Amino acid sequence: MREIVFDTETTGLDPKTGDRMVEIGCIEMVNRVATGESFHAYFNPQRDMPAGAEAVHGLSSAFLADKPLFADVAADLLAFIGDAPLVAHNAGFDFGFLNAELEIAALAPVCTSRMVDTVAIARKKHPGAKLSLDALCTRYGVDRSHRVKHGALLDAELLAQVYVELTGGRQIGLELAAEQAAETDARRDGAKETILARATGKRREPRPHAASEAELARHQAFIETIEKAVWVS
């Protein structure tokens, strides 16, 4: 099953009061395994960047000034996400901003039936525990040491790993077994090729191995020296 794990960065908390999305990062997963395919873009929000928001993600108005408008890359984004379920942490927030930007671009919203909220999953699995992305990374041993500030693509990559753990975890032992089986098969295939090469090579004529007349005479002389031989009745 194909799924898209995504995260957004914004100018604030509420698109209804004029806040805009300034970054989106998407990670493609198939059967809970990241494929290496991703989508990432910054957007010019056409407004100022509040100091509080900039402190969170580090994206300044100056940095975003030459970035495209959301409408300019919306088609590429929609083509990437396709009709796959969309996984996000506190997904209602990200869906709200994504659909607000689609509305501004005069495009149809993404149906919330496609929404998969990892906060809701974590709340059921770990009631009463901290549910932030940082807390879940710590719980599941996901390395976030390179996360100095929030970033949409980086957070999506971290969330993809957390999502796997929340939904059952990687069966590392089985993965190692599969790798070892593949190595064994490769060695076996190599041995088969060697045997086949030997079997189909140029046939050698058998070497002579019969005793000569002189050897037979010496053997007979030796036999006659044996007293009370068991083969003599």
Reduced to 3 states, what is the DSSP secondary structure of residue 159? Answer: helix
What proportions of the chain, in percent to the nearest 5, are helix, strand and coil?
A: 50, 15, 35
- For the sheet containing 2-10, what is the strand order? 33-42, 21-30, 2-10, 86-88, 115-117
pLDDT for 169: 77
Angle between helices 133-140 and 152-166 (to 10 degrees): 50
Is-contact 19 10, C-beta < 8 A? yes
Task: Determine the Cα–Cα distance for residues 72 and 75; give it in Å rounded to an integer.
Answer: 8
What is the pLDDT at residue 155?
Answer: 95
Catalytic residue among 126, 150, 209, 219: 150
DSSP string, 164-208: HHHTT---HHHHHHHHHHHHHHHHHHHHHHHHHHHHTSPPPPPPP
Q: Which two structure tokens, joined as six digits, stand for 198?
A: 């030997």
- According to the model, what pLDDT value does residue 203 have? 65
Sequence letter at residue 127: P
The pLDDT, as a whole number, for residue 105 is 97
141 phi/psi in degrees, rounded to 5: 70, 30
pLDDT for position 200: 56
CA distance 95 to 147: 23
Which domains, ranges and CATH numbers included, belong to the chain?
2-172 (3.30.420.10)
Question: Helices 152-166 & 118-125, crossing angle to 10 degrees?
Answer: 40
Q: 150 catalytic, yes or no?
A: yes
| Tens of each residue's pLDDT in the chain, 233 residues | 999 999 999 999 999 999 999 999 999 999 999 999 999 999 999 999 999 999 999 999 999 999 999 999 999 999 999 999 999 999 999 999 999 999 999 999 999 999 999 999 999 999 999 999 999 999 999 998 877 667 899 999 999 999 999 998 765 434 444 555 566 666 666 666 655 555 555 666 766 667 778 878 887 888 788 877 776 65
CA-atom Rg of the chain in angstroms: 35
pTM score = 0.71
Binding region for substrate:
7, 9, 57, 155
pLDDT value, residue 173? 38
